[in-house]
Amino acid sequence: MTGTGGGDASFTGSIAEIYDALLVPMIFEEPARLLAASVAATDAADILETAAGTGALTRALARLGGHDIVATDLNEPMVVAAARRSVSERVRWQVADAQNLPFPDRSFDVVACQFGAMFLPDKVHGYAEALRVLRPGGMFAFNVWDRIENNTVPWIITEALCAAAPDEPLEFFRRTPYGYFDIDQIRGELATAGFEETSGQYIDGSSHATAQTAAVAFCQGTPLRGEIERHPTLDLESATTIAATALREHYGSEAFDAPIRWLQLTARRPTGRS
């Protein structure tokens, strides 16, 4: 796994635009709605969102109403794409590393993070940062993808690309976004960081797309794009064609629904912690 700011965490350049236009409607809006619902159950006034990307969860949180939201992300192009279509004047956008948050201790009632934890090189450190900026009793609400075999589209794409280039396999999805899903491991890391009352549930949903759109979204709108561009035998066009062909063989040429599965968690900062 590469470090913060490069490689697997590098949502930069045109990735941000393609991510926002194609991938967000495909797989991020349904989990965002459900994660926001877990925040709605609290009486939070101040929400910090980390790894906010182009704002899928931010918009769902803003729709709840009644909160001030500071939405942050490591990569400026994601924040710029998000701020362009911000929905509420109660949302403030800022570039920030979730492992080194530029906020004082005990500043927020809720820290929320959609599909960002997997990208943190040091999970316990990242969780401890979330805990530090939470007020006592505050809630950390986040989600991570389940294993890649339960998220069929990136699985089919990964299998096809690895078969096409077995000597230099393109393993970004398996390694990072779909590589951190063990609930016992995550609960243990949250406890090590100081959280209590952790709970989590796996949730099944579905994505809707055509083979071509999904291939462009996953190959060109994620950091897999950088891995492809550095590849010795594949390039962006050939990799996207391989992905689209594999999806078409599985689902046909018409728009299709495919299963997605993720783990949604909440944890609380103890009230007694100094």
Ligand X SMILES: C[S@@+](CC[C@H](N)C(=O)[O-])C[C@H]1O[C@@H](n2cnc3c(N)ncnc32)[C@H](O)[C@@H]1O
Question: Degrees (nearest 5) of the Cα angle 231, 236, 239?
Answer: 80
Q: Rank residues 70 and 164 by Cβ distance to ligand X and give the closer one.
A: 70
Cα separation, 218 vs 26, in Å, equals 10
Q: Which two tokens stand for residue 177?
A: 């976004």
Closest residue (Cβ) to ligand X?
A: 53
Tokens of 201: 């549930």
Q: What are the structure tokens assigned to 52, written together?
A: 């906010």
The nearest distance, CB 28 to ligand X, in angstroms, is 4
Query: Collapsing DSSP states into helix, strand and coil, what is residue 51?
Result: coil
4 binds ligand X (CB under 6 A): yes
Say if CB 75 and CB 12 are below 8 A apart: yes
* Contact flag: residue 153 with ligand X (CB under 6 A): no
Of 99, 151, 152, 176, the one binding ligand X (CB under 6 A) is 99
Choosing from 51, 139, 164, 190, the residue that interacts with ligand X (CB under 6 A) is 51
Name the one range near ligand X by CB under 6 A: 38-46, 109-117, 186-194, 207-215.
109-117
Closer Cβ to ligand X, 82 or 234, answer by number: 82
Q: How many residues in the chain?
A: 274
**Quick one: which of 18, 26, 39, 73 contacts ligand X (CB under 6 A)?**
73
Quick one: which segment of 116-124, 184-192, 235-243, 257-265 binds ligand X (CB under 6 A)? Answer: 116-124
11 is an interface residue for ligand X by CB under 6 A: yes
Residue 76 tokens read as: 């400026």
Residue 53 interacts with ligand X (CB under 6 A): yes or no? yes
Span of 52-60, 185-193, 197-205, 247-255 interacting with ligand X by CB under 6 A: 52-60
Task: State the nearest-atom distance from the C-beta of 232 to ligand X, in Å.
Answer: 26
Nearest to 258 by CA among 147, 145, 152, 148: 152
Cα 219 from Cα 231, distance rounded (Å)? 13
E strands, the chain, are 46-50, 68-73, 91-95, 108-114, 134-145, 196-209, 256-268
Give the H/E segment covering residue 125.
helix 123-133
Q: For residue 257, what are the CA distances in angstroms to 25, 165, 203?
A: 13, 28, 16
DSSP state of 232: S
Q: Which of 18, 38, 50, 265 touches ligand X (CB under 6 A)?
A: 50
The answer to whether 39 and 112 have CB atoms below 8 angstroms apart is yes
Tokens of 11: 């949502």
Q: How far is the CB of 101 from ligand X (least distance, A)?
A: 9
Give 55 or 164: the residue with its C-beta nearer to ligand X: 55
Piece of 70-78, 86-94, 227-235, 253-261 that binds ligand X (CB under 6 A): 70-78
| Residue 52 engages ligand X in binding (rule: CB under 6 A) | yes
Q: Which residues sit at the interface with ligand X, rule CB under 6 A?
A: 4, 9, 11, 24, 28, 32, 50-54, 56-57, 73-75, 78, 97-99, 114-116, 119-120, 177
